[in-house]
Amino acid sequence: MIIGVGIDVAEIDRFDDALRRTPGMADRLFVERELWLPSGERRGMASLAARFAAKEALAKSLGAPGGLRWTDAEILTEPSGRPRLSIRGTVAVCAERLGVRGLHVSLSHDAGVASAVVIAEG
């Protein structure tokens, strides 16, 4: 059963500008592992914007409750390249309360825009 669906888009240049203007913003939005590629290189801005959109989409799929911490949701990359959501803390409590048993995420970026869709399944 689908409990919720969330979608979000982020303009990549605008997101980049916001990170540059606001020191520490990346640390409030992402856990350390999200900022780096498996190769050890810094993750590109399009990829970070897509991950931010995924966190927004996740919140929407849960009904957009207040009090969720950005770093309580992490977008991991499986060896195949497929994105996967890992939740803990405030996000896990909210998901459990709603009866969420699984989360599905899809990320994309093209033409200066990053997007994400999250499906919360019960």
Q: Report whether 8 belongs to an annotated binding site.
A: yes
Into how many domains does the chain fold? 1
pLDDT at residue 38 in the model: 79
Domain assignment of residue 106, given as a range: 2-121
Angle, helix 45-61 to helix 12-21, in steps of 10 degrees: 100
Both tokens assigned to 53: 């959109």
Considering the entire predicted model, what is its pTM? 0.94
Cβ-contact 46, 99 below 8 angstroms: no
pLDDT at residue 96 in the model: 97
CATH assignment at residue 67: 3.90.470.20
Which residue numbers in the chain have pLDDT < 50?
none
Q: Report whether 78 belongs to an annotated binding site.
A: no
Query: Residue 81 and residue 75: Cα distance in Å, rounded?
Result: 12
Beta strands in the chain (DSSP E): 2-11, 73-77, 83-87, 102-110, 113-121
